Amino acid sequence: MARKTTKPAAKTKTRKSKPAPAPKQSKPMFRTGTWVAILLFALLAGGAYLLNRQAEETPDVEIEPVSETIFVFNQESSVTTIEVSSPAGDVVQLERNEENVWVLIQPEETEADQGLAEAAASQVASMIVVNEIEGDPSIFGLDEPVYTIAIGFDDGKSGTLEIGEKTPTNSGYYARLDGKQMMIVSTSGIDSLVNLLSSPPYQSTPTPIPTATPPPTETPVPPTEAESTPEADATPTP
């Protein structure tokens, strides 16, 4: 009887376990250079904001005009007195007298040129407020005005307009009405009134027309009496 041979048990292979990989370190979301760039951007943005704020607070910024036309003085009243003065002591003063005739009070009292005086009164009534402003009066030269314009009206009211510096665009003057309301006034009306200081509206004196001088006439000489001669005076002897 044959023997059964038993096969040796199969050898199991043992696998060598590999060491687990080390965990990867997570990279930061922002590198140092990125933070520096963000910081620089923030500084630039802050500087630009401050510059814009300073520009808005200074008078060098172009100011938008008001939406509707506003006049400095009330147009319903007639102008009766105009006085323009400067810190140097120059003064010109115009006034309507009882006959409604313009006369000069200063620099000397005399009758004024009616056309020039009426033109000045029209400039007063047509002065336009370009825009109203706020801030320190010294910024606009109103702490020491370069001109002062005082106006009187037929209803008894009056107003004083202080004139400061010109705007950066030279299109208007910084002004203050009655020491309170500050504004920008168009240059045309101000310049016309200020020019009265250098050219007061004296009444023009007509130049006399020269007349032709007649030639001198010769005075007739009376005839001389005939001189008597001894022969004519001699009496004949009888």
pLDDT one-digit tens code per residue, 182-238:
999 999 889 999 999 999 999 876 555 555 565 666 666 665 554 555 555 555 554
Q: Alpha helices of 98-229 — where are they, by DSSP H?
A: 114-125, 187-198
* Span 148-163, pLDDT tens digits: 999 999 989 999 999 9
Which residues is 112 bridged to in the sheet?
Answer: 202
Domain locations along the chain: 70-198
Bridge-based pairing of strands 172-177 and 181-186 is antiparallel
207: three-class secondary structure by DSSP: coil
Separation CA 132–CA 184 (nearest Å): 6
Compute φ and ψ for 138, nearest 5 degrees. -65, -25
| Closest alpha carbon to 151 in 99, 97, 79 | 79
The tokens for 132 are: 């109203």
Rg (CA), the chain: 51
Question: How far is the C-alpha of 86 from the C-alpha of 22, rounded, in Å?
Answer: 90
Residue keyed to tokens 């050898």: 11
Q: pLDDT tens digits, residue range 103-139?
A: 999 999 999 999 999 999 999 988 999 999 999 999 9
The mean pLDDT value of the chain amounts to 77
pLDDT digits (tens, 9 = 90+) for 14-50: 555 555 555 555 555 556 666 667 777 777 776 666 6
